[in-house]
Structure 1
Amino acid sequence: MSSIGYKIIKTVIFASVFIILIGCNYDNQSAVNAVAKEPTKISAWLAYWDLGAGEKDLERVGKKIEKLSYFGAYFDSNDRLFIPKELSNKKIELQKKKGKYETYLTFVNDKQNSDGSAVMKDTEVLRRLFSDDASMEKHIDEIITLTLQGGYDGIEIDYERIWKDETIGQTFLQFADRLYAKTLKNNLKLRIVLEPSTPFSAIDFVKGPEYVVMLYNLFGLHSTPGPKANKEFIQKTITQMEALSGEKSVAFSTGGCLWGDNGEKRFLTEVEAKTLAAIYDSETRRDEESQCVVFDYKSEGVSYQVWYADVKTLNYWMRIAKEQGANHISLWRLGENVDIDKIR
């Protein structure tokens, strides 16, 4: 073959490969663009300790919500699940208004001790419940029973810190598999909430449930001041979520957090944050990478810094998620969000 003929063939092959790669990228980008243009699917949580404010937010944004999770059922001192009475009463009350959203009962691994104290995100209670087949099946049946009795459309499992212990992590996967099988038999839907630190690619999750990944607490009570989420964190986590199969959602947090130089740290609603800024006549600024509102103030010799999300922040985070192909957004949580009706 002549050198000219070889060059022609080489050029043709290179051009063909280039066109194929461009075509693949175009298809992928087209799929992402299509998602970005679709109406956002919104879910939200209603927490038992803030039902009044939560219901007010729900009334303003209810038409945009497709799924509402009632938060939540947790454990008593005997490792038995219970639902706060005020939450069950609110479910009955709201059910009469016949909202068009699906309803879920959220189960969390918090525990109320006999002395009135509480353990948050208790993995030891899960270790006991997952210790053998009989105990696990009893726990699953208890979840199914409470959900059916409450008239919910589905179950939401929000067990946290499970991946810090390999044994608990592996038994949780067995639990999720068995629970999903029983939800199908009882015509119930299943959502499983996962932390962003979950090793997605290293775990074989059961196919079928909807997986909701928390895109918050990048900064929080565990850290120095900063945003609950920013652009890099959102993009990185959604990329890692590609290892999950089936329906996937991302969750963003409303409100914010306060840090004092005396060691004080606590979460705030948007209304609480705005009230502090007004009381202390603080000048607010908007962080570029997160679009969170930030301000400082001083009280009784203590310097404080506050970071919080408003509707502009939430819409910014949601836009980043949609650009990454994530169109189903969950909001933690309803209650004292000033312009919640303007989310889009």
Structure 2
Amino acid sequence: MGKGIACKIIKIILLSVVFVLTAGCNYDNQTAGKADAKETSGKVAWLAYWDLDAGVKDLQRLGNKLDKLSYFGAYFDASDRIFIPRELSDKRKELKAKKGKYETYLTIVNDKQNADESVIMKDTEVLRRAFASSAAMDRHIDAIVALTLQGKYDGIEIDYERIWSDEQVARSFAIFVDKLFLKARENNLKLRVVLEPGTPFSYANLPQGPEYVVMFYNLYGLHSEPGPKANKDFIERTAQQMRALRGGASAAFATGGCLWGDNGKRALLTEAEAKTLAVTFDSKPKRDAASQCLVFTYKDSGVTYQVWYADVETINYWIGIAKEQGVNNFSLWRLGGNIEINKINE
């Protein structure tokens, strides 16, 4: 960690202390929220708008084993208004008619669609504007609640990322979560908040009440050299750090994997895609001891690729480690391309 980054984190800590003392949030008055915190996730999965057909096939394989389904997701348009992709809304109507027994959540992410339809992923600037003032934050919260009610979902799920890299957003996030939780309760909606594994849990000062879902993945990925999305040490360390959260918390594990080429190419893969590559190039995957991920290499058009991916054995291994650390509820990112998803442990 560099000196500049360290100073920035210290500044955010000090700012967090200040806003908790001055914001007037309901941290000590959420007796109803304490009850909600016990209602953790059970078995939850995400259905992504860009892979609906494969996602629904996995959903059907799960049958009645699913407790909650998160529709991923709504994001910001060129005018900073949140919207749901049409294909996801249509799928919501279709699945709603089948009356599944699981609760449904609308996931809101801080992706931003520009006027030319290009998309900025995990945009902190749009959150700066949404949190710029109390009035702006209230408008944002009202828009979230209205969109959720319009779609007849049971709850809201917030998945805002890279918030701790921006001082203004970091100062405002706990206030936003607290206000959104109260507004959701007024409308008989539940609230889940997804947090990155790098969240500063011990000083984030997030309010009690929502269910917090911590991402137990991205240890390696598109941002790094080859490796597993999670391993034993990473899961244990993250589980210990998240104990600082108030109330109920659950773990999110990622299916599939990633490939890395020696030409710099990187891409995410589903389990089915990874297995197809292994068969196509006659490469036999081996299981990594520390992560229980499957690993193989292949060569195509002069480029050597390395692939790491998770199967049901991997996911069940990760869940077992989390349970040893006292985390008993999990979410699965994501539905689509999972060979034996029905065999994932409760």
TM over 0.5: yes
- TM-superposition CA deviations, 1:58-103 (whole Å, max 9, x none): 0011311101000000011110100011111111111111111110
CA distance in 2, matches of 1:340, 1:207: 32
Structure 1 stretch displaced more, 332-341 or 169-178: 169-178
Larger radius of gyration: 1
- TM-superposition CA deviations, 1:287-334 (whole Å, max 9, x none): 000000000000111000000000000000011111111111100000
Residue matched to 1:332:
333
SS in 2 for 1:71: strand
SS in 2 for 1:105: strand
The answer to whether 1:228 aligns with 2:214 is: no
CA distance in 2, matches of 1:187, 1:252: 28
SS in 2 for 1:262: coil
Residue matched to 1:23:
none
Residue matched to 1:202:
203
The answer to whether 1:148 aligns with 2:178 is: no
Residue matched to 2:57:
56
Residue matched to 1:115:
116
Residue matched to 2:8:
none
- TM-superposition CA deviations, 1:186-209 (whole Å, max 9, x none): 010000000000000012111100
CA distance in 2, matches of 1:187, 1:220: 38
The answer to whether 1:65 aligns with 2:42 is: no
CA distance in 2, matches of 1:225, 1:246: 35
Structure 1: segments with no counterpart, 5+ residues: 1-39
- TM-superposition CA deviations, 1:165-186 (whole Å, max 9, x none): 1221111111111111101100
CA distance in 2, matches of 1:283, 1:296: 8
CA distance in 2, matches of 1:205, 1:283: 45
CA distance in 2, matches of 1:242, 1:280: 44
CA distance in 1, matches of 2:125, 2:168: 11
Partner AA of 1:232 in structure 2: D
- TM-superposition CA deviations, 1:27-62 (whole Å, max 9, x none): xxxxxxxxxxxxx92100000011100000000113
Residue matched to 2:37:
none
Partner AA of 2:150 in structure 1: Q
Instruction: Give 1:284 deviation, angstroms.
Output: 1.1
CA distance in 1, matches of 2:138, 2:323: 38
**1:122-161 matches, cutoff 5 A:** 122-161=123-162
Residue matched to 2:32:
none
SS in 2 for 1:49: coil
Residue matched to 1:310:
311
Residue matched to 2:192:
191
SS in 2 for 1:146: helix
Partner AA of 1:92 in structure 2: K
CA distance in 2, matches of 1:306, 1:238: 26
State how many pairs are aligned.
305
Residue matched to 1:248:
249
SS in 2 for 1:103: strand
Instruction: Give 1:247 deviation, angstroms.
Output: 1.2
Residue matched to 2:263:
262
Residue matched to 1:30:
none
- TM-superposition CA deviations, 1:7-41 (whole Å, max 9, x none): xxxxxxxxxxxxxxxxxxxxxxxxxxxxxxxxx92
SS in 1 for 2:46: strand
Partner AA of 1:277 in structure 2: A
Instruction: Give 1:163 deviation, angstroms.
Output: 0.6
Provide the TM-score with structure 1 as the length reference.
0.88
CA RMSD of aligned residues (A): 0.8
**1:283-298 matches, cutoff 5 A:** 283-298=284-299
SS in 2 for 1:45: strand
**1:158-173 matches, cutoff 5 A:** 158-173=159-174
SS in 1 for 2:182: helix
Instruction: Give 1:241 deviation, angstroms.
Output: 0.7
Residue matched to 2:23:
none
Residue matched to 1:217:
218
The answer to whether 1:274 aligns with 2:275 is: yes
SS in 1 for 2:51: helix
CA distance in 1, matches of 2:130, 2:42: 34
CA distance in 1, matches of 2:158, 2:170: 14
SS in 2 for 1:157: strand
Instruction: Give 1:146 deviation, angstroms.
Output: 0.3
CA distance in 1, matches of 2:237, 2:64: 31
Residue matched to 2:302:
301
Residue matched to 2:101:
100
CA distance in 2, matches of 1:251, 1:193: 9
The answer to whether 1:177 aligns with 2:193 is: no
